[in-house]
A and B are shown apart, each in its own frame.
Chain A
Amino acid sequence: MRCATVKGASAVTLLEIQGLSVTIPSALGPVQAVRSIDLCIARGEIHGLIGESGCGKTMTGMALLGLTPAYAQVAARVIEFDGVDISNSAADLRGRRIALISQDPAAALNPVLTIGRQMDDVLRTHSSNSKAHRAATAVALLAATGLADAPQLMKRYPHQLSGGMQQRVVIAQALATGADFLIADEPTTALDVTVGAQVLALLRKLVVDRGLTVLMITHDMDVVAAVCDRATVLYAGLSVETGPASAILTHPRHPYAAALLAALPDAAPRGQRLAAIGGQIPPSTETISGCAFSPRCPAVMALCHTMSPPARGAGNHRWLCHLAQCAP
């Protein structure tokens, strides 16, 4: 096993990615949506993928689903799911082992089809059960996501539901595939704080009850603190730090992870916390020399501008930085 996880040697690695890159040709030259990402996820954990807007979180998820744009080039040194190389077969696992909980539930549901029909379409794609059996399964799954009066709900249209209910339906759809690995793309961003917290609690419960594994995409350290076992911090399409959530939250090693945390005080308005770090991520068309974070790093040194930072740390906590220890 090349990748160590929080639960140590006893945990089974479900997903291992090394050096994932996604390049999209464009009029301005190739867009490096993902430059080089390593990811190591153990079965049964909720793994946070955190970084500011445009750092490649969604694109990483899409690569795992085999849903990158047709003209995008996806490459990786290692990309193994459950011990099997899926570099050419990600699409086969889509909806069977891997399912997506989309970013905005209002947009992720088909506006002109009933909830029942949308649940059934997923169920009959993945099973040959009778219609009545599938209807019963759909009701049970909706109820399992905490939706009251599921039979009535089956006849409703998405616009008749609140955002929190819509998100639960989207989660029920993901469960309906029977997949054991869920990619949740900012599942709480479109919701208000309390409802978001309820959805996170639901996901945590489902992980425990059903033995699921979740990749939790977020730009919010609060979410990592609330539900994640481990986390990987992305910056400009690079994974710059990975480790147990508790370690990253208390002793971040990479200056960017530290900056994310420092920007966290509860006084800061929601959604603007990451912007509290001065500057911007480099454009994804730009070739990076040295450390990608050097233009914004408070601890920057001369060699940071010219030399790629080395991999540091050991075991299940690793990061990329010229500093041996985090400066702040």
Chain B
Amino acid sequence: MDLVRYTLRRVFLSAFVVVGVTFLVFVVAQVVPSDPAALYAGPRPTAEQIAKARVTLDLDAPLPQRFVSFATAMGTGDFGVSYKSRRLISQDLRVYLPATLELAIFSTFLALLLGIPAGVIAAARRGSWLDRIGSLGSILSVAMPTFFFAMLLQLVFSQWLGILPLAGRLSQQISISDPLPFLTGFNLIDAVTAARPAVFLDALAHLILPALTLAAYPAGIAMRLTRAAMIEILARRHIVAARALGLSAPRILFGHALPNAVGPALTVIGLSFAYALTGAVLVEIIFAWPGLGRYVSEAILSKDFPVIAAATLVVTLCYVMMNLVIDLTQTLVDPRVALT
């Protein structure tokens, strides 16, 4: 079967990317000047403490051997301990990764919800004032620096209107006095399974501003890509044919033209998600969002390499999986995509 062969090849390629990134992370950790043993040994370590740490961390073994043990550890999900906090990294990730994924998925969703319909309408009403407003909006959303947009949102919706929280992931009275039982780590989902609508709304309210900040850039890109794709599609012969058969304008636009834009739309989803994952670092700091981004930025400042390596690998894995799903969806949705 072509589809099976195609799928296997994509999976193999994805695995190759992950192994490549693992190697890169390892190399970078060797090249960047830092003294992991000193960091591991704690504040103001003695020479003995450092020497002991070198043995514990196996730092004197030959490089190839260290790479193999590093790679196998990563492969089995054993990310080791943070040099700095000595906490198990896998346990930290259990908490921080869902927080970031919740933000990234929600913002990707927002970006598509804003960008794709705006692109469709701009294409359908090409040259009208609606089109011009849409284009202006997309340029602004792409050009405006993230931190500035975040501050603007905080100023308007928290300070002036007071309808959305300034930062954080949950209100303090909930997170401290009556925390959610940890199930998936996605607050929205955990609130639903715990049947606590008030917590759900609180989590949603905290999610909106950081997600909007993160959605601005991909929404602008989504709008422009969708607009360009739809303009090209709307000029195709089969659209004229559909009109000549008396089909209504909305049915032609959404039932006939839009399905032809699935390719570009899927591309946009991939781009948005990738942007959200990497963009999360800055946004999480601005909005005090306890996610992977903040976790990593702290690790970078202290050169806590096991944490950096683990986070890099996990983000790579998320992105590679997303791409795999998108590629496979593409072949399922468009019957003509050549399976190469």
Contact = CB atoms under 8 A, between A and B. Distances in A.
Interface of A: 65, 67, 94-96, 99-100, 102-104, 107-113, 121-122, 125-126, 157, 159-160, 170, 173-174, 176-177
Contacts of B238: 107-111
Nearest to B335: A157
B251 to A, nearest CB: 7
- 4 interchain residue pairs of minimum CB distance: A95-B246, A100-B244, A107-B237, A108-B241
Contact of B256 (A104, A110, A160): A110
11 contacts: A94-B244, A95-B245, A100-B245, A102-B240, A107-B237, A110-B256, A111-B336, A112-B334, A112-B335, A157-B336, A159-B336
Nearest to A93: B246
A67 B241 CA distance: 10
Contacts of A110: 238, 242, 256, 259-260
Contacts of B94: none
A95 B247 CA distance: 8
Find the residue from B244, B251, B256, B262 having the highest chain A CB count within 10 A. B244
A112 B259 contact: yes
A99 B246 contact: yes
Nearest to B255: A121
Nearest to B246: A95
Given A95-B245, A159-B335, 9 more contacts: A94-B246, A102-B241, A102-B244, A107-B238, A112-B260, A112-B335, A122-B246, A125-B246, A170-B241
A155 to B, nearest CB: 11
B333 interface: yes
B333 A112 contact: yes
B86 interface: no
A100 B262 CA distance: 27
Contacts of B251: 121, 125
B236 to A, nearest CB: 7
A100 B243 CA distance: 9
B177 interface: no
Given A102-B240, A104-B237, A112-B260, A125 B335 contact: no
Interface in B12-51: none
B125 to A, nearest CB: 12
B244 A113 contact: no
A96 B246 contact: yes
B89 to A, nearest CB: 45
Interface of B: 236-238, 240-248, 251, 255-256, 259-260, 262, 333-336
A111 B259 CA distance: 10
A277 to B, nearest CB: 29
A38 B259 CA distance: 41
A184 to B, nearest CB: 12
A85 to B, nearest CB: 20
Contacts of B240: 67, 102
A122 B247 contact: yes
Contacts of B336: 111-112, 157, 159
Contacts of A109: 238, 241
Nearest to B241: A108
B97 to A, nearest CB: 36
A125 B241 contact: no
Contacts of B255: 121
A126 B243 CA distance: 13
Nearest to A108: B241
Contacts of B262: 112
Contacts of A67: 240, 243-244
Nearest to B236: A107
Find the residue from A67, A104, A109, A111 having the highest chain B CB count within 10 A. A111
B237 A102 contact: yes
A65 B256 contact: no
Contacts of A104: 237
Contacts of A100: 241, 244-245
Nearest to B257: A110
Contacts of B236: 107
Nearest to B238: A110
A276 B335 CA distance: 43
Contacts of A121: 242, 247, 251, 255-256
Contacts of B244: 65, 67, 94-95, 99-100, 102
Contact of A94 (B237, B243, B259, B334): B243
Contacts of A159: 335-336
Contact of A125 (B237, B247, B260, B334): B247
B224 to A, nearest CB: 22
Contacts of A125: 245-248, 251
